[in-house]
Amino acid sequence: MLRLIFAILFLLIFFLISIPLYLIEFIIGRFNRRAMVASSQAIVVFAFRILLLICGVKRTVIGVENVPKDEAVLYIANHRSYFDVPVAYSCIPTLTGFIAKKEIAKIPFLSTWMRFLQCLFLDRENIRQGLETILKGIEQVKNGYSVFISPEGTRNQGKEMLPFKEGSFKIAQKTGCAIIPVAISNTDEIFENHVPWVRKAPVVIEFGKPIYPKDLSKEQSKFLGSYVQEIIKEMLEKNSKLL
């Protein structure tokens, strides 16, 4: 119970501190948008690391060196918990915006930070709006910002991953950017497995080797979602031994 209370108190304090920070970030953005994104990401990463510390999360991070540092990429990850984003965002090495469900855009404070960070909001029920979001993601990669997406479309707490939505991969197919498979293990043990309590847990996040669409065979390109999902599945099976 204490971890939950301390986590809530920290978030409340952070949101209060955010009010003057918004003004600072807005001013920075008027002169240099990329500098605004970088400073906003540094602030949010710091906050996420404190939150994970409070919640007793012990991270094992594997393969960050696989991520190209001088180009935008498309991160493709499995999705098991609300804590996936703090765990992933606290260790990604590139300026990155997440694609999140549209409902999050209604959450005060959080949605403002997400907009500073180039995050995009997806309406899963509206095909046209979903296409527009993917097109925005393509533009962001062309502008040098990485995109992080969970193609399962929702949190999955079953043993097997949900099928990956192939539309998520259009960002890489249209830009030629690298796809970075991301395997996140055991984050549901922090919260979802014993709602409403927060409990300490070890988690593993692994960044796989970059996959460039131009290097794939015709068969791999045709079923790109399944191809990448199989790589993530193998990573998850391997990393289960570390928990």
**Count of CA atoms in the C-beta half-sphere (13 A) of 203:** 30
What pLDDT, on the 0 to 100 scale, is given for residue 105?
A: 87
**Count of CA atoms in the C-beta half-sphere (13 A) of 48:** 20
User: How do the domains of the chain map onto residue ranges?
Assistant: 2-242
What pLDDT, on the 0 to 100 scale, is given for residue 167?
A: 87
Cβ neighbours, 10 Å, residue 21 = 16
For the segment 7-61, what is each residue's pLDDT rounded down to a tens digit? Answer: 999 999 999 999 999 999 999 999 999 999 999 999 999 999 999 999 999 999 9
What pLDDT, on the 0 to 100 scale, is given for residue 125?
A: 79
What pLDDT, on the 0 to 100 scale, is given for residue 224?
A: 95
Report whether CATH 1.10.3470 matches the domain 2-242: no
Q: How confident is the model at residue 211 (pLDDT cuts 50, 70, 90)?
A: very high
What pLDDT, on the 0 to 100 scale, is given for residue 155?
A: 79
Q: How confident is the model at residue 130 (pLDDT cuts 50, 70, 90)?
A: confident
Q: Which residue has the tokens 């907009």?
A: 115
CA 56 to the chain's CA centroid:
20
For the segment 134-182, what is each residue's pLDDT rounded down to a tens digit? Answer: 999 999 999 999 999 999 877 777 678 889 988 889 999 999 999 999 9
Query: What's phi and psi for 211, nearest 5 deg?
Result: -115, 115
CA distance between the termini of the chain? 23
Most confident of 1-10, 87-96, 104-113, 217-226: 87-96
Pick 127 or 147 by higher pLDDT. 147
What is the rounded average pLDDT of the residues 121-125?
Answer: 84
What pLDDT, on the 0 to 100 scale, is given for residue 60?
A: 97
What pLDDT, on the 0 to 100 scale, is given for residue 127?
A: 79
Cβ neighbours, 10 Å, residue 131 = 12
- Say what the pTM is: 0.95
Between β-strands 57-62 and 73-77, what pairing exists: parallel, antiparallel or unpaired?
Answer: unpaired
pLDDT value at 232 more than 80: yes
DSSP 3-state percent helix, strand, coil across the chain (nearest 5): 55, 15, 30
E strand map for 12-95: 57-62, 73-77
What pLDDT, on the 0 to 100 scale, is given for residue 160?
A: 81
Number of H helices, E strands in the chain: 8, 7
Query: What's phi and psi for 73, nearest 5 deg?
Result: -135, 170
What pLDDT, on the 0 to 100 scale, is given for residue 179?
A: 98
Q: What's the mean per-residue pLDDT of the chain?
A: 94
What pLDDT, on the 0 to 100 scale, is given for residue 2?
A: 87
Token output for 180: 């970075």
What is the rounded average pLDDT of the residues 110-128?
Answer: 90
